Amino acid sequence: MRYSELSDMYQELEDNSSRLRKTEILSNFLKKLNGGESIYLLQGKAFPDYSEKEFGISERLCIKALSKASGIVGDRIIDDWKKIGDLGEVAEKVIGKKKQNTLFSKSLSVRKVLDNLRKLPELEGKGTIGRKLSLISELLTSASGKEAKYIIRTLIGDLRIGVASGTIRDAIVQTYSNSDEKKEVSGIVQEAYDKTNDFALIFEKMRKGIDELKKIQLNPGHPIKLMLALKADNLEDGFKRVGRPAAFEYKYDGFRMLINKDKKGKVKIFTRRLDNVTNQFPDVAGYIRDHIKADSFIIDSEAIGYDPKSLKYRPFEAISQRIKRKHNIEKLVKELPIEVNVFDILYLNGKSLIGEPFEKRTKIMRDLIKPYKHKIRCSHQLITSDEKKAEKFYKDALKDNQEGLMIKNLHSRYVPGARVGHMLKLKPAENELDLVITGGEYGKGKRAGILSSFTLSCRDEGKFLEIGKASTGLKEKEELGLSFKELNDRLRRFIVKESGRGAVIKPKIIVTIIYQNIQRSPTYKSGFALRFPRIVRLRDDKGLNDVASLKEISDDYVRHELKVHY
Ligand code: AMP
């Protein structure tokens, strides 16, 4: 297939905001498709979702490649970028102009784009930058303006076609089922995706027939997306939403860890963003060897830090280095020890458990794990229908310096990657949200040249919509693990456009904020405004998928409004 066909479709998707229309466009595209791999390109990638490979291409390198392919000097491209804001559109202009002057050039195939993109993450060592540059400019040289726009946007991870995984699922369903079967087929496709994170594989199987799709199994070692939580207002609300009796568990203040062991005995550990952190946690591999006797499994857990001398638990910030640091691991293991609190099991000895009810999973998990304090144990749990008992348990959790409680539905299956309300979180600081910074404003006087007010955005189907502005609020270095200046330095790397004192920032840095309340507001694109938001935490452990969605915020708002009026 020609890459021009794909980029025409990208354009169509970009121009049509209706999800139904997008599904139709994608479905027509799938009908023409021979191999499934092009589906990765629809997701802005060259590999399946579970792959950890990244292109590792900066905007600067794209500008160099554009300059090389077009003969236009870099500074002029940068000027355009500052004016236009979107590097993709800059590429369209620059390469489009060149094309008008070139009579002959090869046309670009999807295969060639995929091949070159796939080589990028493999490059290492001396001369890497030069080789990356050649791979990109080779594509740009054969590209039309429109093709260049989407190549550049793919490289910088900002495709902007508004296609989330749910739309790809619906398009596959639409292509391969009639209207009576749609609901059932949709469930089967979703389950296959939950297990594999690989739409190309699903497409290939689906072409052979739905029975092939049903055979797909979980595969320990391939990370799967984790089930996510919604907020509960209080215990009563929790019971109402997950049913009685419910399972209450301590909400530990650490970071999520998905621990896999495959049947060859290989252990792999992933964070909630699906980053592979196995090398950083040799201690956890040891815990597993000693305390879980099974051939293969996938368990879901929260790792919390403790002080090696006093053995007291420590807040997340104190151990966040353990995720990032790649050197001197053994020393760090001793200085910042962690305890793994296991709270779910997804797979055991060749069998997927995600379809089983939580009640059964938690029992299997508790029978399997030999608990050992300060190494590995099962989450502290209470199953009850009694609100008084739950209340006491909640107080105990807070007294033990944990964040609050998780409230879980005993009868529900594990739903990867989704906030479906099968598990809720209850914390005292209820007015808290995870948002992404998408803009900033330079201060005046002493703060001149320093970004000191930040635009915060929520998520809406792959887009980010403004919902408020927070000024400094950020606590001091000791508490946050990052000074205000360091936050500034980080944000500056992602500035897309500046005008006057304002800056547009690529959505990369996720923060937890607390706020007083939410109001409807015409000022921001989200339609809501936060009153008095304050940044309290940087969330390196979270990805864009964890940013609060407009739907959650609006549901929360409606629930609170109802409470005020009735
Ligand atoms: P939040 O990060 O505020 O959305 O809260 C959900 C997170 O709490 C999960 O992603 C886990 O990392 C963490 N967590 C801590 N303890 C538990 C538990 N017992 N069960 C499930 N999640 C937990």
As averages over each run of 10 residues, the pLDDT of the chain (566 residues) reads 95 95 96 91 91 87 96 94 91 86 71 97 92 96 96 93 92 92 93 90 94 92 90 93 97 94 95 89 95 96 95 84 88 96 97 95 97 96 97 93 94 89 86 93 82 93 91 53 74 87 93 88 93 85 90 83 51
Cα distance between residue 370 and residue 148, in whole Å: 56
Classify residue 180: in a domain, yes or no.
Answer: yes
Classify residue 275: in a domain, yes or no.
Answer: yes
In this structure, the answer to whether residues 18 and 146 fall within a common structural domain is yes
Classify residue 160: in a domain, yes or no.
Answer: no
In this structure, the answer to whether residues 134 and 40 fall within a common structural domain is yes
In this structure, the answer to whether residues 359 and 286 fall within a common structural domain is yes
Classify residue 221: in a domain, yes or no.
Answer: no
- What's the CATH code of the domain at 472? 2.40.50.140
pLDDT of residue 562: 58
Q: Whose CA is nearest to atom 11 of ligand 1?
A: 256
In this structure, the answer to whether residues 255 and 367 fall within a common structural domain is yes
Classify residue 451: in a domain, yes or no.
Answer: yes
**Catalytic residue (choose from 251, 261, 375, 408):** 251
In this structure, the answer to whether residues 502 and 405 fall within a common structural domain is no
In this structure, the answer to whether residues 435 and 421 fall within a common structural domain is no
In this structure, the answer to whether residues 315 and 451 fall within a common structural domain is no
Instruction: Give the DSSP H or E segment for 197.
Output: none
pTM, two decimal places: 0.75
Residue 251: active-site member: yes
- Which tokens belong to 355? 């379809």
- Which tokens belong to 183? 């609901």
Cα distance between residue 221 and residue 123, in whole Å: 24
Ligand 1 centroid to residue 66 C-alpha, Å: 44
Report the domain count for the chain: 4
In this structure, the answer to whether residues 351 and 444 fall within a common structural domain is no
Classify residue 509: in a domain, yes or no.
Answer: yes
In this structure, the answer to whether residues 300 and 193 fall within a common structural domain is no
Residue 227 DSSP class = P
- What's the CATH code of the domain at 114? 1.10.3260.10
Q: Whose CA is nearest to atom 17 of ligand 1?
A: 251
In this structure, the answer to whether residues 63 and 96 fall within a common structural domain is yes
In this structure, the answer to whether residues 493 and 515 fall within a common structural domain is yes
Around ligand 1, the residues with Cβ closer than 6 Å are 229, 249-252, 256, 272, 302, 343, 379, 406, 425
- What's the CATH code of the domain at 317? 3.30.470.30
Q: Residue 516 belongs to what domain range?
A: 431-565
Q: Whose CA is nearest to atom 1 of ligand 1?
A: 229
Burial of 563 (0-12, 13-18, 19+ CB in 10 A): exposed
Ligand 1 centroid to residue 425 C-alpha, Å: 7
- Which tokens belong to 166? 């749910």
Classify residue 219: in a domain, yes or no.
Answer: no
Cα distance between residue 441 and residue 500, in whole Å: 9
In this structure, the answer to whether residues 242 and 313 fall within a common structural domain is yes
Q: Where are the alpha helices (DSSP H) in 209-312?
A: 210-214, 235-242, 282-291
Residue at a domain's end among 105, 128, 155: 155
Cα distance between residue 159 and residue 9, in whole Å: 12
pLDDT of residue 477: 46
Cα distance between residue 252 and residue 175, in whole Å: 44
Ligand 1 centroid to residue 94 C-alpha, Å: 47
Ligand 1 centroid to residue 364 C-alpha, Å: 20
Classify residue 239: in a domain, yes or no.
Answer: yes
Atom of ligand 1 nearest to the CA of 542: 2
